[in-house]
Amino acid sequence: MRIISGSRRGLVLETPEGLDTRPTSDRIKETLFNMIAFDIPDSYFLDLFAGSGQMGIEALSRGAAEAVFVEKDKNALGCINKNLAKAKFNDTAKVFSEDCLSALNKLSSHAEFDFIFMDPPYNKLIEKDVLSYIKDKKYVGEDTVIIVEASLETSFDYVPEMGYEIIKEKTYKTNKHIFIKKA
């Protein structure tokens, strides 16, 4: 796994050992970031269920002003911290080592995020809980793009009744990215 583009292009990142995380492949990450590339510079990027931290680190490499990482797994946290140090992004990153909802609560005074990326465990509807929790938070504005990585089977038919709209969907062989904004 490597940084695809930007100031740290080509830097190889560590990934947590074991089956508790499933890193996004370089090809899927490249496709995703190509879709949002022009909006990344100077943005605020929130990486939920961050795993190795590769998505937030990619955003920083491409010029994001700040990336916030949320991960509760100890092995994954070790990878995030090593990868941030290796990429020399400690000054533009914040790491929360706790469950997602606790960290989201602590972020209540944070500036509005431009991007919220989440890659929760598949097929457990965790993304629905997160979307419900953040819908009235100040850090989620009308222009905030929420990107959910999910299994192909995951339905997002509940999104409109929560006050969101799906603005884009990108399907891959094994999973998909759903792009969501406030309606």
| Band of pLDDT at residue 24, cut at 50, 70 and 90 | confident
Of the chain, the percentage scoring pLDDT greater than 90 comes to 91
On the question of pLDDT at 20 being above 60, the answer is: no
| Band of pLDDT at residue 1, cut at 50, 70 and 90 | confident
Q: Compute the average pLDDT of residues 116-137.
A: 96
Domain 26-182 has CATH 3.40.50.150: yes
Give the pLDDT confidence of 58-79 residue by residue, as tens digits: 999 999 999 999 999 999 999 9
In this prediction, residue 152 carries a pLDDT of: 96
> For the chain, what are the domain ranges?
26-182
Query: In angstroms, what CA-CA distances link 150 with 5, 42, 160?
Result: 24, 27, 18
Rounded Cα distance between 181 and 157, Å, is 14
In this prediction, residue 53 carries a pLDDT of: 96
Of the chain, the percentage scoring pLDDT greater than 70 comes to 97
| Band of pLDDT at residue 21, cut at 50, 70 and 90 | low
Model pTM score:
0.95
Q: Compute the average pLDDT of residues 134-148.
A: 97
Terminal CA-CA length for the chain: 35
